[in-house]
A and B are shown apart, each in its own frame.
Chain A
């Protein structure tokens, strides 16, 4: 039985974005990736740019993002998405090019690529999922892991004398003159989702206006890596992540 057999067309108040595929997502229940994927799909559909969008997926949990959004994708080597997006954007200046990267991909192995793409002001959008952990490989320390936070490679908690400090890379990115819009958002409440959608829309619009690099960090949860049920993970994020990674716009030019 199809949904149309149950709900009449005129009574339908919400439906899945046509840019989202029917593939069942591999993400864990409660994971932020699904929320962000949905928002990106909605923005692409609402802006009518499905045929003009080329995305670059990272290495990490979202390596398979190309299974879920019905647009052209390139899957990058670990950390190299901004370099790949650079070439796509330069060779296709009329396209909407975005990278989708996690914290290990963007803020550790790919630090050089993201800094230089942003500093050149590549006309791309960067969606940066920061859940302070390596999810795909089984919950190891990320560059953004908070001090004291337990991971598979910091089993007694991150020690700054041993592991260094958590990296606020978005604050660094905001200093670069090539960026036009740098913001930190989340997706854990309906209000946060609405704000995040506005931010992603603005970023894509910036690309359309050839304004340079737009950078959106999404402070996220990793239920399996954090070893918490979804509701607890959201609470933990609000209590621990937000004070260190405060939400809001850092730059909007």
Chain B
């Protein structure tokens, strides 16, 4: 029988890492995600599965440890929160440039700068549009529950290895800190070195044997022509991800005249807002992107004929709303509602914003 446990989102990340056969976690404390490293250190998975857990001297070091581990074909991850994720951007762009699979968890807090320790969704641009330098993308998963925090660790690794691309779980302080029941999965064994050589021996640094050429993990190519070719290859990969890996959830959309678009904890607020609005006779539904890259643009487009307006609800000044507008391309009015700096909108505020921007107007 499946094991049920009441746990925090951050604890779920740690438990999922151990159970999905993760080889290494490298982290640095920052609120509101320190429980990931704390849980792992308390669980001592090195005794149980052989998983390496290390508190690095900085976020920079932690993400570069991820680079090193991923370069060996190992299943490695890190987690942090907004200011720490900014520091990790150097490593993330190198990882994307070297086409290494890994998982990065961002439990977002309000910014800019040191900001606040309260939850926010103001790192959407950073996560979805690149973050570091160069033309690259992360696969971005947005959990809306503690169960999804748990599930997306395995899913994130699966997608990361499938496409040899860094994946990110874009969470926030609400999902990281709140407790919900979680259905835990069975333990997946870690890959042996022999299995890693078999699967990833064509590129991973596992030690150069006589039967193959040396493997080099690098993002450097001084020749502009071949660097452009590499960039085209990356873009083709992102297109394939866009075509194949879109995930989203639709709630009460069948008869909806108005659509809320929200991810993560905002989508939880919007679920309640739908109940309130429908109580007032407003036919509103919710589209919840689960993948932020690739973005569910088509799913939004398919709903357009029935819609009078779309409200993007985010705990930011309006970042995801740009992707909604790109998908809609002017066919329906798209507005943004959000709170910033760590303030969580209430369901009533969402309904009021919907009425004000569309129904009264």
**Interface flag for A51 (CB, 8 Å):** yes
Interface residues of A in 133-186 (CB under 8 A from B): none
The distance in angstroms between the C-alpha atoms of A113 and B66, with both chains bound, is 14
Q: Is the CB of A73 within 8 A of B216?
A: yes
Pick the contact of A77: B26, B90, B210, B214 (CB < 8 A): B90
Pick the contact of A72: B57, B69, B98, B216 (CB < 8 A): B216
Q: Is the CB of A51 within 8 A of B208?
A: yes
Q: Is the CB of B65 within 8 A of A84?
A: yes
**Interface flag for A80 (CB, 8 Å):** yes
**B71 CB to closest chain A CB, in angstroms?**
5
Q: Is the CB of B66 within 8 A of A66?
A: no
Q: Is the CB of A74 within 8 A of B218?
A: yes
The distance in angstroms between the C-alpha atoms of A106 and B167, with both chains bound, is 30
Interface residues of A in 112-148 (CB under 8 A from B): 112-113, 115-116
Q: Is the CB of B218 within 8 A of A95?
A: no
A83 and B218 in contact (CB under 8 A), knowing A88-B71, A88-B205, A113-B61?
no
**Interface flag for B337 (CB, 8 Å):** no
Chain B, interface residues (CB within 8 Å), range: 35 or more
Q: Is the CB of A91 within 8 A of B91?
A: no
The distance in angstroms between the C-alpha atoms of A63 and B219, with both chains bound, is 11
**Interface flag for A53 (CB, 8 Å):** yes
**A106 CB to closest chain B CB, in angstroms?**
14
The distance in angstroms between the C-alpha atoms of A198 and B66, with both chains bound, is 33
Contact residues in B for A56 (Cβ distance below 8 Å): 68
Q: Is the CB of B214 within 8 A of A72?
A: yes
Interface string of B58-89 (1 = CB under 8 A from A): 10111011111101101010000000000000
Interface size on A, residues (CB 8 A): 32
Q: What residue in chain B is nearest A113 (Cβ atoms)?
A: B61
Q: Is the CB of A112 within 8 A of B67?
A: no
**Interface flag for A71 (CB, 8 Å):** yes
Q: Is the CB of B207 within 8 A of A76?
A: no
Pick the contact of B208: A70, A112, A113 (CB < 8 A): A70
Interface of A is mostly: helix
Q: Is the CB of B74 within 8 A of A91?
A: yes
The distance in angstroms between the C-alpha atoms of A52 and B209, with both chains bound, is 8
**Interface flag for B52 (CB, 8 Å):** yes
Q: Is the CB of B208 within 8 A of A72?
A: yes
Pick the contact of B56: A51, A54, A83, A91 (CB < 8 A): A83
- Identify the interface centre among A63, A71, A77, A87: most chain B CB within 10 Å of its CB: A87
Contact residues in B for A50 (Cβ distance below 8 Å): 208
- Cβ contacts A to B, 24 pairs, < 8 Å: A51-B209, A52-B207, A54-B205, A66-B214, A70-B214, A71-B208, A72-B206, A72-B215, A73-B215, A74-B68, A77-B90, A83-B62, A84-B65, A86-B65, A87-B52, A87-B67, A87-B68, A87-B76, A88-B71, A92-B207, A112-B57, A113-B57, A113-B60, A116-B57
Binding site for A on B (CB under 8 A): 23-24, 26, 52, 54, 56-58, 60-62, 64-69, 71-72, 74, 76, 90-91, 94, 98, 193, 205-210, 214-220
The 9 closest A-B pairs by CB, nearest first: A87-B68, A84-B68, A75-B218, A83-B64, A72-B205, A116-B57, A87-B65, A80-B64, A83-B61
Name 17 extra pairs, CB < 8 A, besides A84-B67, A91-B52: A50-B208, A66-B214, A71-B208, A71-B214, A74-B205, A76-B67, A77-B94, A83-B60, A83-B61, A84-B68, A87-B24, A87-B54, A87-B66, A87-B67, A91-B76, A113-B64, A115-B57
